[in-house]
Amino acid sequence: MVRKRSGRRNENRKDKANSSVVQLSNIINSPKEYRDRIRDVAARDLLKLGKKHGTRGNSETNSSICRMCKSILIPGLNVKIRIRDKSVISTCKRCANIKKRGPTFHMELNDND
């Protein structure tokens, strides 16, 4: 008889969340294979997972998602990118959210929490 210990459940859930993050990141990073709408949904799910389980995609994936309207930022399409004082300033055209990045990219990780 196989007994399931309740202590393992959380671990499994986190494992599942982690593999979902990998999957969603793949979708987000494959604009040629997936349509924008699907990638938007993936972005939303990725942020949701991050909030729920404390898991997140790599910083590159995270930085290409608008935190306000949760859509994928595509340079030249729905995001305006400017470089000023060594910082990358991206403005989402959908919700006008402005995000600054750099020159110390580590700063961004602390920023989002």
Complex with Zn ion: residue 26 or 97, whichever CB lies closer = 97
CB of 47 to Zn ion, least distance (A): 12
Complex with Zn ion: residue 50 or 53, whichever CB lies closer = 50
Residue 3 three-state SS: coil
Q: How far apart are CA 2 and CA 59, in angstroms?
A: 40
Complex with Zn ion: residue 53 or 100, whichever CB lies closer = 100
Alpha carbon 50 to its chain's center: 8
CB of 73 to Zn ion, least distance (A): 7
CB of 77 to Zn ion, least distance (A): 12
Q: Would you tell me which residues interact with Zn ion (CB under 5 A)?
A: 66, 68-69, 92, 94-95, 97
Torsion on CA atoms 18, 23, 25, 29, rounded to nearest 10: 160
Is-contact 18 55, C-beta < 8 A? Answer: yes
The one-letter code for the residue type at 90 is: S
Residue 98 three-state SS: strand
Complex with Zn ion: residue 21 or 92, whichever CB lies closer = 92
CB of 65 to Zn ion, least distance (A): 9
